[in-house]
Amino acid sequence: MDTEHGIALTSHRITVLLIDDQQIIGEAVQRMVHEEPDIDFHYCQDPTRAIGLANKIQPTVILQDLVMPEVQGLTLVRYFRANPATRDVPLIVLSSKEEGDVKAKAFSVGANDYMVKLPDPLEVIARIRHHSRGYINLLERNEAMKELEKANGFIRQTFGRYLSEDVVDTLLESPDGLELGGEKRVATIMMTDLRGFTAISERLPPETVVAMINIYLERMTDIIFKYQGTIDEFIGDAILAIFGAPVQRDNDAQRAVACALEMQQAMTEVNQMNCDANYPEVDMGIGINTGALVVGNIGSSKRAKYGVVGQHVNLTSRIESYSIGGQILVSEHTLKACGDILRIDEQMEVMPKGVKKPMTISEIGGIGGDFNIYLPEKISQPLSILATPLAIQFTVLAEKDVGQVLWPGKILRLLENSADVETQTPIDKLSNLKISLLNAQEAVLYQELYAKVTAILPATAPVAESATKQQDDTQQYLFRIVFTSLPPEAQAFLKTLNLKV
């Protein structure tokens, strides 16, 4: 076996098949090539057996007589050309005739060469080598192509599970597709995350966690590829996708938003599959941003990946962290790139870490134009006042770290997964909280509840009398939260309160 460019090639020897009814010719040619160590010689006196023998020995060149008793020489040439195994094998006609029309007929039916017998031994060997080498080159090219197609098929089958068709095509078709390096370009980045999934995974067996992630990623991957996105990475239950690399299109930002909307729609299907398997339901938040990035093959010679780097990737992660389940938040850059075809449900000013001045992010509820995808419009419903406020204690999460200080508070109003909380501690909008529910004796009933602050409410908003009566002049703050993760027991308890109010 020889290896060329990593492709395993079969070694081929020069193999001669001579067909001639005169044994003296066969012996003469055999003597000519006898001293050549790289040439294998086979002689067939019966032309009716020639095709079968050729199929068996796979010659690299055929020498055949033009005039034979059983089969006409030109007819045998046609047989060789009609036989798939010998269709491309070089064929040299041997004849005692030197007329031009005879030679022309031989070439017209498929002969590659013509020699008047018996020629000089050096000439015979030279022609055998010349035609055999050309045919061996053809065989090796065909074998290399088959091996390459097989390798490409393996790459597509294997990496197609992780990369988009665009990236796989780049790896296969570009001569430097696997070289390290990158280029700067404008692209749209989308980051998704399942809300509260870390807390959920801590309560479930590992096989259930993996099964849930696979249900989610399988459906989301199909949608991302549908909109020609490139999946840069799966980070547990999070997805980082790029629109605009390696192939850049005019509507990258629009396709990213349309993709996000369809992904949110598909969460109904994902949760139905979860319910059918007795798994908990999950919600997804999405952040989208557009900006200049460095894209390309990143890593080392031993391990590399196609990916993106740059401050806009970090900003996308910040934007996604502001979202709650079911939300799609986009930056001002993405909003501008999409034009006026988006339905904006809400806008808010934020100050992400690493950004020098406040920026506006928008919650997107739909896209028109060529896509026409819309989420149901949100209907604001007033929360119901609890007859007896529910005591809680909470801590503020900074990034992924749990704060050290526990603050007291009360849930005054409740509706499904939303609640209004009163506390003596000022809380910023979009803060993430870890909450414990307390009983009347201030003992912990349920803990490990997670929520995000979605609105700061006026402290003068009407609440239950028992909650407004103050023992001192300490200022009270009121804010609305949405629960992002609830233990099953706490969820059932809150549901009973929902039924009572």
CATH number at residue 478: 2.40.10.220
Pair 322, 425 in one domain = no
For residue 213, what is the domain's CATH number?
3.30.70.1230
Amino acid 215: pLDDT:
94
Amino acid 202: pLDDT:
84
Please tell me the total count of domains within the chain: 3
488: amino acid identity, one letter: P
Pair 402, 348 in one domain = no
Tokens of 379: 């209907």
In-domain check, residue 453: yes
Amino acid 401: pLDDT:
59
Say what the pTM is: 0.66
User: For every one of its 501 residues, what pLDDT tens digit does the chain have, with 9 covering 90 and above?
Assistant: 444 444 455 678 999 999 999 999 999 999 999 889 999 999 999 988 999 999 999 999 999 998 888 788 899 999 999 999 999 999 999 998 888 898 999 999 999 999 998 788 999 999 999 999 999 999 988 888 888 777 666 666 655 555 566 666 665 665 455 455 567 889 999 999 998 888 888 888 999 999 999 999 999 999 999 999 988 888 888 999 999 988 888 999 999 999 999 999 999 999 999 999 999 999 999 999 999 988 877 766 666 666 788 889 999 999 999 999 999 999 999 999 999 999 999 999 988 887 888 999 999 999 999 999 999 988 878 899 998 999 999 999 876 556 678 999 999 999 988 999 999 989 998 899 999 999 988 899 999 899 999 999 987 544 444 444 444 557 889 999 999 888 889 999 998 887 655
How, if at all, do strands 444-457 and 477-485 pair?
A: antiparallel
For residue 57, what is the domain's CATH number?
3.40.50.2300
Tokens of 445: 């009933």
Boundaries of domain holding 233: 177-374
Pair 333, 266 in one domain = yes
Which of 318, 353, 374 is the last residue in one of the domains? 374
Sign of the CA dihedral running 107, 17, 4, 174: positive
- Asked if residue 118 has a cis previous peptide bond (ω within 30° of 0), the answer is yes
| Cα separation of the two ends of the chain | 80
121-159 vs 165-173: helix axis angle to the nearest 10?
160
Pair 343, 243 in one domain = yes
3-state secondary structure string, 208-223?
HHHHHHHHHHHHHHHH
Pair 366, 468 in one domain = no
Amino acid 399: pLDDT:
65
* Pairwise CA distance, residues 166 & 324, whole Å: 31
Which of 374, 392, 427 is the last residue in one of the domains? 374
Phi, psi of 468 (to 5 degrees): -85, -20
3-state secondary structure string, 306-336?
EEEECHHHHHHHHHHHCCCCCCEEECHHHHH
* Pairwise CA distance, residues 90 & 111, whole Å: 7
Tokens of 313: 């990737």
Pair 24, 113 in one domain = yes
Q: Nearest Cα to 467, choosing from 400, 414, 404? A: 414
Pair 191, 259 in one domain = yes
Pair 215, 270 in one domain = yes
Nearest 5°: the CA angle 24, 28, 32 is 170
10 Å Cβ neighbour count for 378? 11
Task: Assign 254 to helix, strand or coil.
Answer: helix
Amino acid 468: pLDDT:
47
Q: Where are the alpha helices (DSSP H) in 5-120?
A: 23-33, 50-57, 73-82, 100-108
How, if at all, do strands 432-438 and 384-398 pair?
A: antiparallel
Which of 117, 143, 169 is the last residue in one of the domains? 143
